[in-house]
Amino acid sequence: MKGKSIFYMTIVAIILCGMALYINKSRRQEPPQNIGKKVFSDLPVNDIDTIKIKSKTGTATVTRVGDLWVATDRHNYPANFEKIKNALISLSNIKITQSMKVAKKHIDSLKFNDPSGDKATAANSATVVELSGGGKNIQSFMIGAQHMKKGDQPGMPEGASYPDGAFISLDQGKTAYLVKETLDDLGADQKMWLNGELFSVQNSDIEEMTLKTPSNQSIRLYRKDGTMRVDGLQSLEEENTSKISAMESALGYLRLDDVADPALKDAEMGLDKPYILTATTKDGEKYTAKISSKMTSDETRYLRFEFALLDAKKEAAKTEPAVTSTNAPAQTEDQKKAEEKAKAEKMKQQEEKIKDLNDRLGKWTFIMERYRTDSMIATRAELVNNKVIKENTVDKKVVQPGTVQETAPAPATFTLPENK
C-alpha cells in the first residue's frame, strides 16, 4: 500500500514538472502566429506630423508645418521629405521574423536600456522613436541592437560579420521583435534629416568667375575657347590647371553639412570680411558665395549665397552678333513670333528659378566641411605658376615678374697641346 502511494506521488510530480516547464516555455516565447505579421498592424502614416528620435548621443525632431516638413532642432530648416516619407512607409511594412521575451540579463546586449536612464551608455541603450500627430502619441518604440550575420560573401575576411536586421520593442524592452531591416535611417543625428541639396552649376556653363579675398585682392577667370583662363596672365606665367579646374567645379552638386544658428553675428563666423566668389553663366545667371575667412575648430566654414539674373538687354549688347549667310532665307513673321515666345518663356523660367533659390536659400547661413570649401577659395599665387624656361644650357626660373634666377653651366675645360 505504501509502495503504491509513492508510485502515484511520483506520477503526480512528473505531471506537475511537465506543466511547469510548458507554462514557463509559453511565457518566454510569443505565439508562433506572430511570425510574418507586421510589427505595426495599422500605422496611420498620413496622420503623423512629428517624428522625434532620441539616443544617448543626441535628439532629432522633424515636424510637418502645413505642407512642409522642417527640422525643429535646426531652426526649422526644411527637412528631407523623401527620407521622411520612405522611413514612414518602411515602418508601416516591417514584419516580425522572430519574437521573444527579454530576460533582464539580456537587456544590455540587446541595447534596450532607456537612453535617459542613469545606467544607459551609448553601447547598451536603445534609440527611442516617438511618432505623433495632432499633439497625441500615435506610436512609440525602441530600436535595439542590430542582428549580426557571419560573413558568407566572397572576399569578406574570415570571422567578419554584417548587420542583416535589428531588434525592436513596443513595450519598453520587455518583448523583442527581430525584423530584417537594419533601421539605420532612423538616427538621432539632426543633420541627417536636413534637406542637404542646395544647387548645382555645371562648370561648362560658367563664362566668368571672380574671387575677392578678405585682403581685397581681386582675381578674375574667364572662358576662352572652352578653357577657363586667368585674367592678366603675364608672359612668364602659366595657369595652375588643376586648381582652376577645382574652382570651376566648386558649385557643382553643392550640399550642406549643417545650418548655422541665425543668432550668430558675422564677426563670430568670419563673414564680416569674407571671400566672395561670383560665377556668371552663359545664360546670364549670377551665383555669389560668401565664404568665411576663418575655419571653425572642426575645420568647417560658414557660407551664404545670393542669386541674380543679369539684365538681358545688357548681356545681348555685349554679345557679338552671329554671322549669318546672305543666302539664308528671311524669317517669316510666324518664325519671328515663335522665336520671341521661346525667349520669353526661357526668361520666365530663369526668373522663377532665381526667385526660388533666393527664397529657399537666401536667408540661411550654411556650414560646410573643408573639403567642399577649399576649392572655392584661392590666392592668385595658387592659380598661377611661374614658368621654367630652358634656353640652351641655361635654366631660368622666374621668381618674380621681371626677375630670373640663372643656373650657369659648369665652366668649360681645355687641354693645351704639348710643345714639340
Same domain? 138 vs 212: no
Q: How confident is the model at residue 23 (pLDDT cuts 50, 70, 90)?
A: very low
Same domain? 373 vs 297: yes
Q: Is residue 300 part of a domain?
A: yes
Q: Which of 191, 178, 3, 207 is nearest to 83 (CA)?
A: 191
Q: Which of 305, 315, 353, 290 is nearest to 207 (CA)?
A: 315
Q: Is residue 342 part of a domain?
A: no
Whether the CB-CB separation of 304 and 271 falls below 8 Å is answered with yes
| Alpha-carbon radius of gyration of the chain | 35
Q: What is the pLDDT of residue 240?
A: 95
Same domain? 295 vs 171: no
Q: What is the pLDDT of residue 378?
A: 92
Per-residue b or e along 187-226, where b marks 16 or more CB atoms closer than 10 Å to that residue's CB = bbebbbbbbeebbebebebbbbbbbbbbeeeebebebeee
Q: Once rounded to an integer, what is the mean pLDDT over residues 276-290?
A: 97
Q: Is residue 24 part of a domain?
A: no
Q: Is residue 388 part of a domain?
A: no
Count up the domains in the chain and report the number.
2
Same domain? 101 vs 202: no
Q: How does DSSP classify residue 285?
A: E
Task: Look at 154 and 399; give whichever has higher pLDDT.
Answer: 154
Same domain? 230 vs 314: yes
Q: How far apart are CA 143 and CA 111, in angstroms?
A: 8
Q: How confident is the model at residue 113 (pLDDT cuts 50, 70, 90)?
A: very high
Same domain? 58 vs 142: yes
Whether the CB-CB separation of 375 and 249 falls below 8 Å is answered with yes
Q: What is the pLDDT of residue 403?
A: 47
Three-state DSSP state, 14: helix
Res 207 pLDDT > 90: yes
Q: What is the pLDDT of residue 330?
A: 80
Same domain? 121 vs 71: yes
Q: How confident is the model at residue 347 (pLDDT cuts 50, 70, 90)?
A: very high
Q: What is the pLDDT of residue 30?
A: 47
Q: What is the pLDDT of residue 183?
A: 95
Res 267 pLDDT > 70: yes
Least confident of 67-81, 273-287, 388-402: 388-402
Q: Is residue 313 part of a domain?
A: yes
Domain ends where: 136, 159, 193?
193
For 62-103, what is each residue's pLDDT tens digit? Answer: 999 999 999 999 999 999 999 999 999 999 999 999 999 999
Same domain? 160 vs 219: no
Q: Is residue 224 part of a domain?
A: yes
The contacts of residue 199 (CB under 8 Å, 6+ apart) are 251, 254, 287, 305, 357, 361
Q: Once rounded to an integer, what is the mean pLDDT over residues 94-121?
A: 93
Q: How far apart are CA 58 and CA 116, in angstroms?
A: 11
Domain ends where: 158, 193, 228?
193
Q: How confident is the model at residue 184 (pLDDT cuts 50, 70, 90)?
A: very high
Same domain? 161 vs 292: no
Same domain? 163 vs 276: no
Q: Is residue 10 part of a domain?
A: no
The contacts of residue 64 (CB under 8 Å, 6+ apart) are 48, 49, 50, 70
Segments forming the whole domain that contains residue 312: 197-318+355-382
Q: How confident is the model at residue 264 (pLDDT cuts 50, 70, 90)?
A: very high
Least confident of 3-17, 217-231, 383-397: 3-17
Same domain? 161 vs 224: no
Q: Is residue 411 part of a domain?
A: no
Domain ends where: 132, 167, 193?
193
What average pLDDT does the chain have?
A: 86
Least confident of 32-46, 147-161, 225-239, 359-373: 147-161
Res 416 pLDDT > 50: no
Same domain? 61 vs 173: yes
